[in-house]
Amino acid sequence: MSANPVLSAATRPLGPGAIAVTLVLCLSWAFNQIAIKLALPEIPPLLQATFRSLGALPVLLVFARVRGVRMFERDGTLMLGLVAGVLFGLEFVLIYQGLLLTSASRAVVFLYTAPFFVALGSFRFLGERLGPAQWGGLAMSFTGVALAIGIPQANVDGRVLLGDLLVVGGGLLWGVTTVFIKGSRLRFIAPERALGYQVAVSVPIMAAAALIAGERLTQVPSPFVIGLLAYQSIWVVGTTFTIWFALIKAYSASKLSAFTFITPLFGVVASYFILHDALTLAFGLAAVLVIIGLFLVNRPNRAVLAATDPLLNVTKT
């Protein structure tokens, strides 16, 4: 067994169970984008993000209580948690502000540049190495996502491009946060605590951003919108994000992030049934590109395994 826990996780293949759970997370996040868009007419974006984090905190505390996790234990991770929380908060400030300027379809494509940043960060700081086929798989998956969403689009001006850049900045911070947690002591604490730091610190950051932006509620949200916000808070942030950070602790960050390319594809299908968006013939080709790309990313790299796991570093005689 490898003595380095980071390298051990980096070389651990994603089993069927981990893949199935990750796909459920991707499906949930795809519906999350629709929930956000449907709630925007009644709850402005930054206030919506603030309420979402506030609603997720009790869920995390319940999970921690059930699992016996001490959320307020002194273990020297406070400063690390504050850094992760600032990154998390700024990430969503950029994403939600970007959504005001660019379309949802463009935003979802640029947000899912995050796996590239995770792969680069994991390669540079965590000792994870991707072979040429795996890098090609990442590129192929992103090409499939871009094709599925339908970029480039008409009527793109400076305002839209600024929104695109803000969303790319959110994707960058998402990647940075993933690599930071993976490579720091936060990786060894309970996922409820790792996420708790981020959600708690993000609340004042997003609330301040909403105040600066002049956002306010102009009406009492309808039960439908409150339900959408509950979905975001209880399930997406409180539950799926906790599961996500548990997976990050156990498996390769770059390979897990590669699966998030499927989220926009799920989003397109969900938009078709819920928002009645049209599906094009290009979607079939895009899906094939994404699936092939994910297969390439998750192929075992024997050279990397041999270099990082003594059990595989043997010479046949």
State the Cα angle at 89 between 24 and 121, rounded to 5°.
70
Determine, yes or no, domain membership for 96. Answer: yes
Determine, yes or no, domain membership for 312. Answer: no
Total-model pTM: 0.78
Domain tally, the chain: 1
Determine, yes or no, domain membership for 59. Answer: yes
Tokens representing 269? 């299908």
Q: Domain limits at 271?
A: 16-300
3-state secondary structure of 77: coil
Determine, yes or no, domain membership for 182. Answer: yes
pLDDT in tens, 63-92: 899 888 888 888 889 999 999 999 999 999
Q: How confident is the model at residue 150 (pLDDT cuts 50, 70, 90)?
A: low
State the Cα angle at 102 between 99 and 258, rounded to 5°.
70
pLDDT in tens, 18-40: 889 999 998 898 888 788 888 98
Determine, yes or no, domain membership for 9. Answer: no
Determine, yes or no, domain membership for 310. Answer: no
> CA-CA distance, 45 to 274, in Å (whole number)?
20
Unique residue bearing structure tokens 């993933």: 178
> CA-CA distance, 34 to 271, in Å (whole number)?
7
Determine, yes or no, domain membership for 11. Answer: no
> CA-CA distance, 313 to 210, in Å (whole number)?
54
Determine, yes or no, domain membership for 271. Answer: yes
> CA-CA distance, 168 to 188, in Å (whole number)?
29
